[in-house]
Amino acid sequence: KFRELTAKYFEKSAWPSPQAVSDECGGDELFLALYKELTQRHLHSIARPAPKDRVEGWHVYCSLFDLILQHIAQIQTSGKNDGAIFLLPEWVFDILHEFVYQFQGFCQFRTTTFTNAAKYGPGGTNQDKQIPHHLAESMDVLSNNRNTWAVEKVLTYLQQFNHAAESTRVTSVQYLALFAAVAQARLECLLGDYTASLDALSLIQSTSNDVQLINPPRGAEDDAKPLTPAEVVDSVFAAKLNVAYHQGVCYLMLRRYKDASFVLGNICSTMQRGFKAGEYKSIPGSDQFGKLFDRMIALLAIITHACPETGLVEDGIARSIREKHGKQLSKIEAGEEGYEDLFIYACPKFITPSVPRYELASMEGAGAGAGPSNQDAYKLQVKHFMNEMANQQTMRKLRSYMKLYTSISLEKLGRLVMEEDFISLLLSYKHKMRQIESSTNSSGSGGKPSSGSGDESAASTSESVGTVMDIHYFINDGIIHVDEAEKLHRFENYFMSQISQSIDVMANIDSISV
Amino acid sequence: MMNSKASEIAALLKTEKYNPEIIPQLESYLESQVQQNVDTTDSPASPYDSNANRTLVKLYQFFPQNAQAQYIVLAAALALVYGTATKEGSLDFGSLGCLINESMKKEEPYPTLIRCADLLDSCQFSEFWSVFHSIENNSGDYEMVSKLSKSFHAKSALRKSILNTLSLSFKSTKLSYVLGQLDFEKDNESEVLLKGESDVVEQFNDASDSIIFTDNIENTKRNKVNLEGGIDYGMIRGLVMSNQVKRATAE
């Protein structure tokens, strides 16, 4: 209803202020706080926010979250939900998603402002010019609001929502916990802490038998069933997409290519089918889905090219990868650089969370990059990624030779490959392709715990060590023995794709007018 | 003592993870991890806590004015030594590097640690050891890093990790080659390690210069072909829906 009214009456303008509508709701604090968040979010979407609007946004969220946490504390003390908090999953996701989005925007804004202001300081490129008024004003606002959008406070709010669900079964509080976990996973990914991002999702993706079901919200239909945390998140498609994308990035950066391909491949397959059936047109924000789909396809292009194991993604997705990135991948095959461009296109906008020392902008040396810049965060992650992708071409060359033989002496293969320290290359290829994978994602041998490492803890968790190679080799007395890796014969994909193509052909035939 | 400290830190991280006031405690805990490696003759109880060390580095990321290079270097050094030893496939050193600004990585011994990590990852173990030993001379004022690089426990952890990596590719090879990869100077020291790793090393013989690794899934022939199938609802949902849409449109 809010979207309809916005489109009809406030498409390019702001809604009435909370003060103006206060009488209509009896001055209800929580209602007004939620109203303020909703209308302020709309304002941010129609125009580029001014520095003061960004600061105001922080205060809006602080007021709202403090109020919600107060209500939650009352519920925890009294053991009863007086019905004050009633939020649906989509709404909770929208609030927390926008919260992290505004934080991300503010981090970029403050580091860009600092970097630009420093150019007008001593030693800067524009030191002889007067600092523009808007820049000076922005620096003033930032200097007077140093604690606004402080990263530790943002994360603390998310953590508090996460913990709130531990002592109450109220449905809205459970929703807050789940979508706070989704928001936290995204934020940790933007900060470059991929391990913490995956840990944040453990609340949602627990596969244990003790996982708590979440009751349907008040007013739901009689046949509505309790859902698992994963089902609640999946019920909001934008949240599901968000989780999959950031999880895929984290797995890629942590060298867990099978998990990355599973997560990204699944969501891309779902989306590809959904786009064909027109499923997403009615979902708000669906114009962004296509862009995210393209970025995930680019990530899958990297993964499927680096990991020669076949069957990592469905045929339809493999086809999309070839169509969109076939040329680029051929260039990489020929020895040119290409992974970096793909990654830069596909990666999230990483952020520098620290507050700059604004006083340095007017001091000697600031123009030479003494402070943080937005480029720092993203360059750091790109460097890590490229480090991981180093030697890919050499390893592909080694693999292509090994596929020709079932057994070959070390000396002979060394002469063919012609690489310095060839034995280290053999060891390192296997070492790098042995990766952690979730047992729910794994297929074939991946589900078994790693042997030879004596790592018993891997067997008791849902993770194990598997391989993404499509060949298997070992060295015995100077001879390399090469087998193909354990195969999975799966026929259903072939049948499904043929059925789908047959339906398309029949539809085309039916449409022919004779 | 260390176990109680580890529990204390774990409890602190549950509630105060983003509070800069816990930085001194995390720094002290990091020092004690290194101290365990350096001082104790028995196996250290908790030589490495990746979660706590990563939290410290992250707090430095949030509050760079509190960052201390010596602790960043110590955290990175521990991640290098224990990263893969604790959990195969983990990328502790690399993922920690994603939280550390490039400017903090320019001063020695950090560049040497990066070189060590690259050599370890590319299995150039002989060269790795010569660079690893140079940490002692490249540490500058970072005495604790120098001590860690010379400690028995750090070397032992690295050797076990390297031995495991070798066992994944080799079924059998020359003992002299393996000892070279493990940087052994004394024969009895190598014998103690190899005998202690009986789940990795089946047998070794000095006289015939041979070593045979225990069978594992990676160093033995594979014959099995798995047949698996199964369709999940998501795969057919789109088909069913598009079919229904087409029928409805036709009607």
Q: How far is CA A414 from the centre of its chain?
A: 41
Residue B237 Cα, gap to closest chain A Cα (Å)? 9
Q: Judge: B221–A481 Cβ closer than 8 Å, yes or no.
A: yes
- Where is average pLDDT lowest: A22-26, A160-164, B36-40, B236-240? B236-240
DSSP code at position A484? E
- Identify the pLDDT of residue B174: 93
- Identify the pLDDT of residue A62: 95
Q: Closest to B224 (Cβ–Cβ): which among A434, A486, A500?
A: A486
Interface ipTM above 0.85: yes
Amino acid (one-letter) located at A250: C
Maximum distance among all Cα pairs of chain B, rounded to whole angstroms = 86
Length of chain A: 514
Q: Closest to B171 (Cβ–Cβ): which among A191, A279, A474?
A: A474
Q: Report yes or no: B104 and B67 within 8 Å, Cβ to Cβ.
A: yes
Q: Judge: A428–B94 Cβ closer than 8 Å, yes or no.
A: no
Counts of helices then strands in chain B (DSSP H, E): 13, 4
Half-sphere exposure of A450 (CA within 13 A, CB side): 28
Mean pLDDT, chain A, as a whole number? 84
Half-sphere exposure of A476 (CA within 13 A, CB side): 14
- Identify the pLDDT of residue A299: 96
* Model pLDDT for residues A323-344, shown as the tens digit of each residue: 999 999 998 888 888 899 999 9
CA A214 – CA A335 distance, rounded (Å) = 52
Q: Judge: A376–B246 Cβ closer than 8 Å, yes or no.
A: no
- Identify the pLDDT of residue A84: 66
* Model pLDDT for residues B123-180, shown as the tens digit of each residue: 999 999 999 999 988 788 788 999 999 999 999 999 999 999 999 999 999 999 999 9
Q: Closest to B214 (Cβ–Cβ): which among A191, A196, A452?
A: A452
* Model pLDDT for residues B24-38, shown as the tens digit of each residue: 999 999 999 999 888
Neighbours of B173 (CB within 10 A): 22
* Model pLDDT for residues A18-63, shown as the tens digit of each residue: 777 777 777 788 888 888 888 888 888 878 889 999 999 999 999 9
Is A273 in CB contact (< 8 Å) with chain B? yes
Neighbours of A22 (CB within 10 A): 16
What average pLDDT does range A212-232 have in this prediction?
75
To test the contact with chain B by mutation, choose from A110, A155, A195 the residue with the greatest count of B C-beta atoms within 10 A, namely A195
Put simply, the chain A residues between 346 and 385 with a CB less than 8 A from any chain B CB are 353-354, 357, 372, 376, 379-381, 383-384
Q: Judge: A195–B173 Cβ closer than 8 Å, yes or no.
A: no
Neighbours of A439 (CB within 10 A): 17
Residue A280 Cα, gap to closest chain B Cα (Å)? 12
* Model pLDDT for residues B143-152, shown as the tens digit of each residue: 899 999 999 9
Identify all chain A residues contacting B61, using CB atoms and an 8 Å cutoff.
191, 353-354
DSSP code at position A290? H
Write down the pTM of the prediction.
Answer: 0.88
- Identify the pLDDT of residue A454: 33
* Residue of chain A whose Cα is closest to the Cα of B230: A492
- Identify the pLDDT of residue A254: 95
CA B84 – CA B168 distance, rounded (Å) = 14
Number of Cβ pairs closer than 8 Å across A and B? 203
What average pLDDT does range A385-394 have in this prediction?
90
- Identify the pLDDT of residue A303: 94
Joined together, the tokens standing for residue A348 give 């999230």
- Identify the pLDDT of residue A129: 82
Give the pLDDT band of residue A456 (cuts 50, 70, 90): very low
Specify the higher pLDDT residue, B192 or A187: A187
pLDDT of A443 over the 50 cut: no
* Residue of chain A whose Cα is closest to the Cα of B234: A270
Give the pLDDT band of residue A392 (cuts 50, 70, 90): confident
What's the first-to-final CA gap in chain B, in angstroms? Answer: 77
Is B212 in CB contact (< 8 Å) with chain A? no
Residue A268 Cα, gap to closest chain B Cα (Å)? 12
- Identify the pLDDT of residue A449: 30
What average pLDDT does range A309-333 have in this prediction?
87
- Where is average pLDDT lowest: A23-27, A204-208, B58-62, B232-236? B232-236
Put simply, the chain B residues between 85 and 124 with a CB less than 8 A from any chain A CB are 87-91, 94-95, 97-99, 101-102, 118, 121-124
Maximum distance among all Cα pairs of chain A, rounded to whole angstroms = 87
Q: Judge: A483–B221 Cβ closer than 8 Å, yes or no.
A: yes
CA B220 – CA A325 distance, rounded (Å) = 37
DSSP labels for B172-224? EEEHHHHHHHTT---HHHHHHHHHHTTTTEEEEETTTTEEEEPP-SSSS----
Give the pLDDT band of residue A469 (cuts 50, 70, 90): confident
Joined together, the tokens standing for residue A366 give 């600031």
Q: Judge: A503–B243 Cβ closer than 8 Å, yes or no.
A: yes
Is A263 in CB contact (< 8 Å) with chain B? no
- Identify the pLDDT of residue A459: 35
Q: How far is CA B187 from CA A73, B170, B194, B211, in A?
A: 65, 22, 11, 14
Identify all chain A residues contacting B214, using CB atoms and an 8 Å cutoff.
452
Put simply, the chain A residues between 420 and 459 with a CB less than 8 A from any chain B CB are 421, 424-428, 430-432, 434-436, 443-445, 448, 450-455, 457-458
CA A410 – CA A412 distance, rounded (Å) = 6
* Residue of chain B whose Cα is closest to the Cα of A511: B250
To test the contact with chain A by mutation, choose from B51, B54, B82, B169 the residue with the greatest count of A C-beta atoms within 10 A, namely B169
SS (H, E, C) A168-196: CCCHHHHHHHHHHHHHHHHHHHHHCCHHH
